């Protein structure tokens, strides 16, 4: 704690879902909606969605990941303040 955080090249998982045992259209619609939501955020940030959002499919999990640049836009810098 108290250390300055550095922006790294690591992508950040912003949403993850358990992969269904068999294909389910409702699940794919849910994943598509989440990708669309992040596409809008990327455009709002002035970033190309195709370069800053990716879908990672594993055996048990599907994850939406964003680039460090998009994560930095979406996550405001923490500030220190005190009430007087």
Three-state SS annotation for 15-80: EEEECCCCCCHHHHHHHHHHHHHHHHHHHHCCCCHHHHEEEEECCCEEEEEECHHHHHHHCCCCCC
Long-range contacts of 50-54 (CB under 8 A, 24+ apart): 54/11
* pLDDT for the residue 75: 74
Each residue's pLDDT tens digit, 56-84: 999 899 999 999 999 998 776 666 666 66
What are the sequence ranges of the domains in the chain?
A: 12-74
User: What's the order of all strands across the beta sheet hosting 12-18?
Assistant: 12-18, 61-66, 53-57
Query: What's the pLDDT tens digit per position in 7-47?
Result: 457 999 999 999 999 989 999 999 999 999 999 999 999 99
């Amino acid at each position: 704690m108290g250390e300055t955080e550095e922006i790294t090249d690591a992508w950040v998982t912003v949403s993850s879902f358990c992969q269904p045992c068999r294909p389910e259209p409702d699940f794919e619609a849910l994943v598509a909606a989440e990708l669309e939501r992040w596409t809008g955020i990327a455009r709002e940030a002035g970033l190309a969605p195709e370069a800053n959002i990716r879908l990672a499919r594993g055996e048990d999990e599907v994850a939406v990941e964003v680039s460090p640049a998009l994560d930095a836009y979406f996550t405001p810098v923490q500030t220190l303040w005190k009430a007087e």
